[in-house]
Chain A
Amino acid sequence: MKEYISIKDLNFSYNKEKFITALDFDIPKSSSIGLIGPSGSGKTTIIKLILGLLSPQKGSIKINKKDYTHNELGYMPQQYALYEELSVKENLEIFSKLNNVSKKSEIKKRSQDLLNLIELSDKAKELVKNLSGGMKQRLSMAIAMINNPKILLLDEPTVGIDPVLRESFWTHFKKLNENKITIIITSHVMDDAMKCDKVIFFIKGKIVAYDTPVNLIKYTKTNNLGDAFVQIVNKGYQK
């Protein structure tokens, strides 16, 4: 597959301490890429570097070989980041308007489509503070998609949701891939990693392996991704 997002020699330090070191990888278009690693490995930092919320000390990130704007990106943060005092519909409306969707009919259509997708149509008028954690998670994902992004960055999107809903999320992610949307997901859940087209294993801000889940298991001669990860951490990864 052709490269779409290209990250070259990316370096980032927190308080002069190197956190991301000489990171190099390409992401193909319309794929699901999993950034997998333990807490503090640098997954969220990479997402924030792509979003432009953090500036690298060195290196570049290009999309389609060009610089890019955040209009092309959709972001779902780890915390819900929702207005709790507003209703589900009002949250979608406000983020639509801030993304320059001004026509009422367009806002209504987008909101309704997304509400159908996240199965919250019946909760449209409910205040967010009265929703369950899983519902908030779904609404947060809908807001990430409100600007019809080309790239969707999801930071731990399946935390706190039940297995049935996780499955429906993944069905939807695959549909988004079919519609030429590239998805980057951070997770420490190996079930999520298995569903990605490719997985990047991170340890302390460095890539230790980047391959398809099937290859990672095959070349480490293990039975599952969890074991493959442990083996790669201990012995490295070689095809």
Chain B
Amino acid sequence: MILRTLSIAKLVLLKMRRDKRSIGLVVVAPIVIMTLITFIFNEKPETLQRVAPAIISVFTFLFTFLLTGITFIRERAGGTLERILLTNLKVHELLIGYFLGFLIFALIQATIVTTFVLFMIDYSIDSTLINLVIIIFLSSLCSVNAGIMFSSLAQNEFQMVQFIPVFFAPQIFLAGIFIPVQDMPRTLEIISNFLPLSYAFNSTKLTIINKVSIEEIIFDLSILFIFSAIFIVASSLVVNSQKNNK
């Protein structure tokens, strides 16, 4: 099992490393965007305090979601997904392998984004940094599996990109980034409670702004874990249906 899982992780790493566009998306795009954001908010520390946690959580979710989704669509369209599912590879090995492969890229991106953000807000490194690592890990787990799940609904890469407004726009508006969740109309507040980004954003905000201990964000982390589990089950069903084509 380990050999097959690690083979998939290695496959993801090799494919990504040799795809210049993906490397650009993983490394260059966050650097460019973060440099831009640094210049924009450099003179406005109050605004920066508000958007800093949003930048970390949104970037981690969005980039990993897109990369996984597009890579999975390519696997499906190119026939390689069907072919590897005819080997001894099990669906859960495929998903774990994918997650391990993409986790490395998600961590590279998150490190770039987080370093910029922490530098901008003069964050002093302490024990709360481990909170951030856990948040990023769970957010990546969530978005890798969400990417696989949504890729089954898309026929091509363009359609995958179109899921951004469908899947992300409501989350960005309802996560509490612009208006605190408790100040929203009751209906929107309820909807916000069912969106993973709300918990990723809230826990990131509490960590880097309020410097809370892990105990104080354990609820958010637990909900993020539950969302990850839901997406894992959903993506397993999607890949299984691909395998059986029923």
Residues of chain A touching chain B, judged by Cβ–Cβ distance below 8 Å, are 48, 51-55, 70-71, 73, 75, 77, 79-86, 90, 94-95, 97-100, 102, 127, 143, 147
- Asked if B33 lies at the interface with its beta carbon under 8 angstroms from chain A, I say no
Q: Which residues of A contact B89 (CB under 8 A)?
A: 98
A121 to chain B, nearest CB (A): 21
Chain A residue nearest to B83 in the complex (CB)? A81
| Contacting pair A51 B18 (CB below 8 A) | no
Chain B residue nearest to A76 in the complex (CB)? B83
Q: Which residues of B contact A127 (CB under 8 A)?
A: 18
Bound complex: CA of A88 vs CA of B18, how far in Å? 14
Residues of chain B touching chain A, judged by Cβ–Cβ distance below 8 Å, are 3-4, 7-8, 10-11, 14-15, 18-19, 78-80, 82-84, 86-89, 243-246
Q: Which residues of A contact B3 (CB under 8 A)?
A: 97, 100, 102
Residue of A53, A80, A85, A102 near B14 (CB, 8 A) is A85
| Contacting pair A97 B7 (CB below 8 A) | yes
Residue of A53, A79, A86 near B78 (CB, 8 A) is A79
| Contacting pair B4 A55 (CB below 8 A) | no
A137 to chain B, nearest CB (A): 13
| Contacting pair A83 B246 (CB below 8 A) | no
Bound complex: CA of A127 vs CA of B78, how far in Å? 16
B239 to chain A, nearest CB (A): 13
| Contacting pair A94 B7 (CB below 8 A) | yes
Q: Which residues of A contact B87 (CB under 8 A)?
A: 70, 95, 98-99, 147
Bound complex: CA of A94 vs CA of B245, how far in Å? 24
| Contacting pair B244 A55 (CB below 8 A) | yes
| Contacting pair B15 A83 (CB below 8 A) | yes
| Contacting pair A99 B80 (CB below 8 A) | no
A194 to chain B, nearest CB (A): 28
A213 to chain B, nearest CB (A): 30
Chain A residue nearest to B243 in the complex (CB)? A53
Known contacts A48-B245, A55-B244, A81-B79; is-contact A90 B86 (Cβ 8 Å): no
| Contacting pair B11 A81 (CB below 8 A) | no
A52 to chain B, nearest CB (A): 8
Bound complex: CA of A83 vs CA of B12, how far in Å? 10
| Contacting pair A85 B88 (CB below 8 A) | no
Known contacts A80-B79, A85-B14; is-contact A98 B245 (Cβ 8 Å): no
Bound complex: CA of A143 vs CA of B80, how far in Å? 11
Chain A residue nearest to B242 in the complex (CB)? A53
A32 to chain B, nearest CB (A): 21
| Contacting pair A53 B83 (CB below 8 A) | no
| Contacting pair A55 B83 (CB below 8 A) | no
| Contacting pair B11 A55 (CB below 8 A) | no
| Contacting pair A70 B15 (CB below 8 A) | no
Chain A residue nearest to B97 in the complex (CB)? A98
Q: Which residues of A contact B84 (CB under 8 A)?
A: 95, 98
Residue of B8, B10, B83, B245 near A75 (CB, 8 A) is B83
| Contacting pair A94 B11 (CB below 8 A) | yes
B126 to chain A, nearest CB (A): 41
| Contacting pair A77 B11 (CB below 8 A) | no
B84 to chain A, nearest CB (A): 6
Q: Which residues of A contact B19 (CB under 8 A)?
A: 85
Q: Which residues of B contact A79 (CB under 8 A)?
A: 78-79
| Contacting pair B7 A77 (CB below 8 A) | no
Residue of B4, B15, B18, B82 near A81 (CB, 8 A) is B82
Chain B residue nearest to A102 in the complex (CB)? B3
| Contacting pair B86 A85 (CB below 8 A) | no
Q: List 15 A-B contacts (CB under 8 A).
A: A51-B86, A53-B82, A53-B243, A53-B245, A54-B245, A55-B244, A55-B246, A80-B79, A83-B14, A94-B10, A95-B84, A95-B87, A99-B87, A100-B3, A147-B87
